[in-house]
Amino acid sequence: MGIPEDLARSWLQVALKEARIGWDDGGIPVGSVIGDPRTGKVIAQGHNQRVQQGDPTAHGEMSAIRNAGRRRDWSELVLVTTLSPCPMCAGTAVLLGFREVVIGENRTFQGSEDWLREAGISVTVLNDIACTTLMERMQTERPDLWAEDIGT
Amino acid sequence: MGIPEDLARSWLQVALKEARIGWDDGGIPVGSVIGDPRTGKVIAQGHNQRVQQGDPTAHGEMSAIRNAGRRRDWSELVLVTTLSPCPMCAGTAVLLGFREVVIGENRTFQGSEDWLREAGISVTVLNDIACTTLMERMQTERPDLWAEDIGT
- C-beta neighbour count of A72 within 10 angstroms: 12
Position B82 scores a pLDDT of 98
List the single residue in B70, B86, B148 with the smallest CB-CB distance to A148. Answer: B70
| A23 in reach of chain B (CB within 8 A) | no
By percentage, how much of chain A surpasses pLDDT 90? 95
Q: Taking CB atoms and an 8 Å cutoff, what residues of chain B touch A88?
A: 88, 91-92, 94-95
- Nearest beta carbon to residue B72 from set A92, A112, A148: A148
The pLDDT of residue B48: 97
Q: At A52, is the pLDDT very low, low, confident or very high (cuts 50, 70, 90)?
A: very high
Per-residue pLDDT, A151: 75
Write the CB contacts of A120 (distance below 8 Å, at least 6 apart in sequence): A99
Q: How far is A58 from chain B (nearest CA, A)?
A: 9
As a whole number, the mean pLDDT across chain B is 96
Answer yes or no: is pLDDT of B101 > 90: yes
pLDDT over 70 (residue B152): no
Query: Does B44 have pLDDT greater than 80?
Result: yes
What tens digit of pLDDT does each residue of A75-117 get? 999 999 999 999 999 999 999 999 999 999 999 999 999 999 9
Pick the catalytic residue: A5, A18, A61, A105? A61
| Percentage with pLDDT > 70 across chain A | 99
Q: Rounded to the nearest 10 degrees, how much is the dihedral formed by the CA atoms of B142, B143, B146, B151?
A: -150
> Average pLDDT in the A134-146 region?
94
Between CA A122 and CA B11 the distance in angstroms is: 40
- Residue A152 confidence class, pLDDT cut points 50, 70, 90: low
Cα–Cα distances in angstroms (integers) from residue A5 to residues A42, A44, B48, in the given order: 15, 19, 37
Q: What is the pLDDT of residues A69-83, one digit of tens each?
A: 999 999 999 999 999
Q: Which one-letter DSSP state was computed for residue B81? A: E
Distance between CA A147 and CA A143 in Å, rounded? 6
State the pLDDT at residue A142: 92
Interface pTM, i.e. ipTM? 0.97
